[in-house]
Amino acid sequence: MIKQAEFQTSAGIEGAYPPPLPCEIAIVGKSNVGKSSLINCLTNNHKLAKTSASPGKTRLVNFFLLNKTLYLVDLPGYGFAKASKTEQKSWGELLERYLQSGRVRHLFMLIDIRHAPTQDDLMMFRYLIYYNIPYTLVATKADKIAKSKCRQEANKRAKELGAPPFAIPFSSETGEGKAELLRRLGQIFRDCMQIEKDSEKE
């Protein structure tokens, strides 16, 4: 249960990140896939993360503090073709700097339920496998296809990515998949706390 959610801070290419917590979950995916909308949906606050119909809205690493105990991190999207080469490069560097910081405990990787993964999605997925970052695949905009096909299509997207064939069908519009994703978040949180407890004993 998310009882409380607040914006903590933003960081650009040089800005400081907030003091770490045992649990930090970040959201990656191409521009416009629905990362910021997912944060708003999970926290029941449609004004928390800024969203936009045009891609390239989120340009900083944004930290949201949930229940005063864990960070949910909104990241800029990749693969925004209309952005200049310089802009694309600096967003890439921002993303890489964050992922390399060693803070992230789990990634929610978002893919559009309607489309096969892009080259950028494939690159992102290879990256997180290479760096051994635990992840959950979420297939967004599930309201755009027939409900009866959601499971099948979401799993197909995961398979196309080269992952085991499982993704959570999700819609920020209808709340489909919200309960499932919140359960997942709860599990991740408990795992993080256990790891923290174990490391204190050592």
Pick between residue 173 and residue 191 the one whose CB is nearest to ligand GTP: 173
CB 192 to ligand GTP: min, Å: 24
Select from Mg ion, ligand GTP, none the partner in contact with residue 136, using the beta carbon and a kind-dependent cut-off of 5 to 8 Å: none
Q: Does 43 bind Mg ion (CB under 5 A)?
A: no
Q: Does 171 bind ligand GTP (CB under 6 A)?
A: yes
Pick between residue 173 and residue 180 the one whose CB is nearest to ligand GTP: 173
Q: Does 37 bind ligand GTP (CB under 6 A)?
A: yes
Pick from 11, 23, 24, 32: which binds ligand GTP (CB under 6 A)? 32
Q: Does 140 bind ligand GTP (CB under 6 A)?
A: yes
Euclidean distance between the first and the last CA atom of the chain, given in angstroms as a whole number: 31
User: Do residues 48 and 1 make contact, with C-beta atoms less than 8 angstroms apart?
Assistant: no
Find residue 107's DSSP bridge partners: 26, 135
Stretch of 34-42, 128-136, 167-175, 183-191 lying at the interface with Mg ion (CB under 5 A) = 34-42
User: Do residues 128 and 108 make contact, with C-beta atoms less than 8 angstroms apart?
Assistant: no
CB 202 to ligand GTP: min, Å: 38
142: Cβ contacts below 8 Å, ≥ 6 apart: 113, 150, 154, 169, 170, 171, 174, 176, 177
Q: Does 36 bind Mg ion (CB under 5 A)?
A: yes
Q: Does 153 bind ligand GTP (CB under 6 A)?
A: no
Residue-wise DSSP of 89-151: HHHHHHHHHHHHTT--SEEEEEEETTSPPPHHHHHHHHHHHHTT--EEEEEE-GGGS-GGGHH
Q: Does 37 bind Mg ion (CB under 5 A)?
A: no
User: Do residues 188 and 25 make contact, with C-beta atoms less than 8 angstroms apart?
Assistant: yes
Q: Does 136 bind ligand GTP (CB under 6 A)?
A: no
In degrees rounded to 5, what are phi and psi of residue 43?
Answer: -95, 0
Select from ligand GTP, Mg ion, none the partner in contact with residue 173, using the beta carbon and a kind-dependent cut-off of 5 to 8 Å: ligand GTP
Residues that bind ligand GTP (CB under 6 A): 29, 31-37, 51-53, 55-58, 76-77, 140-141, 143-144, 171-173
